[in-house]
Amino acid sequence: APADLWLGELASGRGDQAQKPGPFVLGRNLWKAYGARPVLRGVDFSVARGEVVVVMGPSGSGKSTLLRMVNHLETIDQGAILVDGEYVGYRQVGETMIPMRDLATARAQARIGMVFQHFNLFEHLSALENIMEAPVHVHGVAPAEARRTAMRLLRMVGLGNHADHLPHRLSGGQQQRVAIARALAISPRLMLFDEPTSALDPELVGEVLAVIRRLAEMGMTMLVVTHEVRFAREVADRVIFMDEGVVVEEGTPDEVLGAPRHERTQRFLRMVE
Ligand code: ADP
Ligand code: MG
C-alpha cells in the first residue's frame, strides 16, 4: 500500500543516503552519577540500523538515564555515545571535538524521536497542531506540508478522525499515539521509547504496542524501554537487561526472556509476568 511505502521511506531516513558503516547507535563505557549516587557504571550497548532493542530492568536501574543520554537530554560523565558515527554532545571542528552547549540545537539536528511514559502533549494544541509543532518551528517546514504529513501520521496511528481534538478529549492510548505521530513527524533516524505504556490503563496498552510493532515491521531503528515481556518477545531483535547501572545480560528474546542465565533477570521476570 502507498502508505506503507511512504512509511518505509520514513523508517530508512529519507535523505540520509551516505550511510556510515558500523552500528547506528554505539555506547561505550558509559558512566553517570547524580551527586555521589552512581546511576550508570560502565554500560556498553549498540543498536544496528533497523534493529529493535528492548531494554528491561527494575526501577532505578538507569534505563531512562541511558535513553536520555542518547537524545542529548543528559550529560555523560565518562564514555561516549555515537549516533550514526557522530558523538552525542559534541561537534567536530577540524580535528577537535567541542562539547555542545546548545543541547536543544544538538537535539534538533540529531533527528531522534522520543516518546515518554507521560505523553507530554501540548495541552492547548490540537492533535494535528501537536504533530506540526516541531517540523514548523524547529525544522522550518512549510505549514501546508507539515499539515499534510501530520494528517498522514494521524491516519497511520488510527486517529485520522481526531485531528482537531485537544489532548484532554483523547484517551490515554490515543494521546500516546499522537505522541508517537509527533515523534515521527521529524522523519527520525531513531526512535526512543521510555515505558510508553506504563501510564496506560491495561485495556489501552494494546493499541499503542500495535503502532510500535508496525514501526518495527517497517524497519525503524528503535530502542524501547518496556516491562511488556510478551511484546518484547514478539518485536525485539535483542534484549538488554540492566540492574543497578550495569548490563547484566543481553541476547535474543529467547535467550534473555526465555532462558535467563542470571538470577537477577530471573527474579525480575517472575515479578513482571
Ligand atoms: P530507571 O529508568 O531504570 O527507573 P533512571 O535512569 O530513571 O532509572 O534512574 C536511575 C537512578 O538515578 C534512580 O535512582 C533515580 O532516582 C536517579 N535519578 C534519575 N534522574 C535523576 C536526577 N535528575 N537527579 C538525581 N537523581 C536522579
Ligand atoms: Mg525510567
The ligand minimizing its distance to the Cα of 245 is 1
Q: Is the pLDDT of residue 9 over 60?
A: no
Which is more confidently placed, 252 or 19?
Answer: 252
pLDDT at 14: 45
Cβ–Cβ < 8 Å for 157, 211:
yes
Tell me how far the alpha carbon of residue 51 lies from the centroid of ligand 1, in angstroms: 26
User: Which cell goes with 146?
Assistant: 507539515
pLDDT of residue 21: 73
Of residues 247, 256, 224, 271, the one with CA closest to residue 61 = 247
Residue 4's pLDDT is 45
Lowest mean pLDDT among 20-34, 82-96, 225-239, 250-264: 82-96
Q: Among all chains, which residue has been given the C-alpha cell 498522514? A: 152
> How far away, in angstroms, is 195 Cα from ligand 1 center?
14
Q: Round to whole Å and give the CA distance between 189 and 186.
A: 9
**Residue 100 burial (CB count, 10 A):** 17
Distance CA 78, CA 70 (A): 14
Ligand 1 in reach of 130 Cβ (< 6 A)? no
Around ion ligand 2, which residues have CB less than 5 A away?
63-64
Q: What's residue 100's pLDDT?
A: 75
* pLDDT of the residue at 22: 81
Q: Is the pLDDT of residue 106 over 90?
A: no
Is 266:81 a contact under the CB 8 Å cutoff?
no
pLDDT at 18 over 70: no
**Residue 63 beta carbon below 6 angstroms from any ligand 1 atom:** yes
Among all ligands shown, which has an atom nearest to the Cα of 59?
A: 1
CB contact at 8 A, 188 and 111: yes
Name the residue at shortest CA distance from atom 27 of ligand 1: 34
Give residue-wise pLDDT tens across range 150-174. Answer: 999 999 999 999 999 999 999 999 9
How far is 260 from 215, CA to CA, in rounded Å? 27
Taking the CB of residue 14, how many other CB atoms lie within 10 A of it? 11
Is the confidence metric ipTM above 0.95 for this complex? yes
Atom 20 of ligand 1 has which residue's CA nearest to it?
65
- What does pTM read for this prediction? 0.91
Ligand nearest to the CA of 116: 2
Buried b (16+ CB within 10 A) or exposed e, 180-197: bbbbbbbbbbbbbbbbbb
- Measured by CA distance, the residue closest to atom 14 of ligand 1 is 60
Distance 74 CA to ligand 2 centre (A): 13
pLDDT, one tens digit per residue, over 32-66 is: 999 999 999 999 999 999 999 999 999 999 999 99
Q: Is the CB of 59 under 6 A from ligand 1?
A: yes
Mean pLDDT of the chain: 90
Q: Given this model, what pLDDT does residue 90 score?
A: 76
Q: State the pLDDT at residue 203.
A: 94
Question: Residue 232's pLDDT band (boundaries 50, 70, 90)?
Answer: very high
pLDDT class of 1 with cuts at 50, 70, 90: very low
